[in-house]
Structure 1
């Protein structure tokens, strides 16, 4: 039987989601705890992979096992067993061919920027000292919706077959001494959101013009885009699926 699991985590202590040699990851920890509780080897497949230090408010993964007779009890025991920086909010049965990665139709990220020193967001937002031109950054962000090839914002050494993404929204908001960048798309490339944020901040500081921003996207050259914003300000906030995956 196949189950979906909804996960949230503070990524500070992990080298991202995906299992890798000689580094602790969220996937590794989750698989280990599930395997112990279910008394069989469990492999989980996530909706995507977050980089080292990136957080997730909502990420889904799927795993296969025999029928779970008491999901509520498993949920309680799993949360008790996991470290404090990983939590599970839901486990539910889905159709046997449902896939956490391939069935996702939309993913949403937020990037948090703090405009002042704040001990309560330390490690959870990128602190900057001078406020950028938010209106200009929003003008640049809006142009992303007119493009679909984002090679310029992708990590250089990657194994993807296409750089095409359908961005559905991208905008900045200011709230309580913070700037929040929200972006959603059908898929994202590795390092894409952090590279976009870094380049948009260059626009906000008048280092890059709107015309130059457009040309960066059109030229498809990562070397011309801005530096990636730090990982600790980035959150995967939402993954959306069609209702048809539910059994």
Structure 2
């Protein structure tokens, strides 16, 4: 029988989601814990891939289990998994739904703080910047849903069958002090390092070294910037994954420091 498993993880100590030899990865740790709990080898398929040190406050994977277990698997997994991976739900499916291919919407949040704060280390990206041009940054972000081809903002576009992404929404917010930024973007799919590359370009706009017109021209011409500078990975979170048959709210608010009382503390630019 196929099961969807709803999880979240802090990716700071991991070299991404995908199983790969010789490095710590989220998929490998979960598969080892599942195989230990169920006493049989278990392979899982994730809803996507996250880069090294990127977090997921909502993530799904599916697994096929021949024999039903007779104990509280979620409790046991949360007991044996490291503290930076949590299991929220185990959902039996009525067919062969696919965690990756069936997802119709993925949303990411990217957090930045512009002052040195030891309590945000690893949870938000630190950029020691002053007097960012928020209006121009907002203008750049607002045009993203107008374009479909994101070849310009991808590290290896030729490895994909196509580089079309249907970006449904994109916004930039700041907290009341103007010291923390939050970039939100939702699309049916994302390309390699696409969000971090976009955020790197938006920061250049904020610093005054790139114009909004130049930024938009990359999208118009599909021309890759001469210098790609992806933003740091630590502030990026996969925050929502939606399926036609499954739309669960995220079970975590990232961290109380970042997102608590979001509606009160964040102002859309």
TM class, shorter-chain normalised?
over 0.9
Contiguous gaps of at least 5 residues in structure 1: none
For the 8 Å contact 2:115–2:127, the answer to whether it is kept is yes
Partner of 1:89: 88
CA distance in 2, matches of 1:165, 1:42: 32
Partner of 2:267: none
Correspondences of 1:56-135 after superposition (within 5 Å): 56-70=56-70, 73-129=72-128, 130-135=130-135
Partner of 1:210: 212
For the 8 Å contact 1:149–1:165, the answer to whether it is kept is yes
Correspondences of 1:141-180 after superposition (within 5 Å): 141-156=141-156, 159-175=159-175, 177-180=179-182
Partner of 1:13: 13
CA distance in 2, matches of 1:134, 1:199: 13
Residues 90 and 183 from structure 1, CA distance in 2 versus in 1: closer, same or farther, beyond 3 angstroms? same
Contiguous gaps of at least 5 residues in structure 2: 249-269
Partner of 1:190: 192
Correspondences of 1:211-230 after superposition (within 5 Å): 211-224=213-226, 226-230=228-232
Partner of 2:53: 53
CA distance in 2, matches of 1:7, 1:134: 34
Give the alignment's Cα RMSD to 1 decimal. 1.8
SS of the counterpart of 2:215? helix
CA distance in 2, matches of 1:232, 1:77: 29
The runs of 4+ residues in structure 1 deviating greater than 4 Å are none
How many residue pairs are counted as aligned between the two chains? 245
Q: Deviations along 1:139-173, whole A, 9 cap, x unmatched?
A: 11111111100011111276221100000111110
TM-score (norm 2): 0.86
For the 8 Å contact 1:173–1:181, the answer to whether it is kept is yes
TM-score (norm 1): 0.94
CA distance in 2, matches of 1:151, 1:208: 19
Q: CA deviation at 1:67?
A: 4.5
The alignment status of 1:237 with 2:239, answered yes or no, reads: yes
Q: CA deviation at 1:83?
A: 0.6
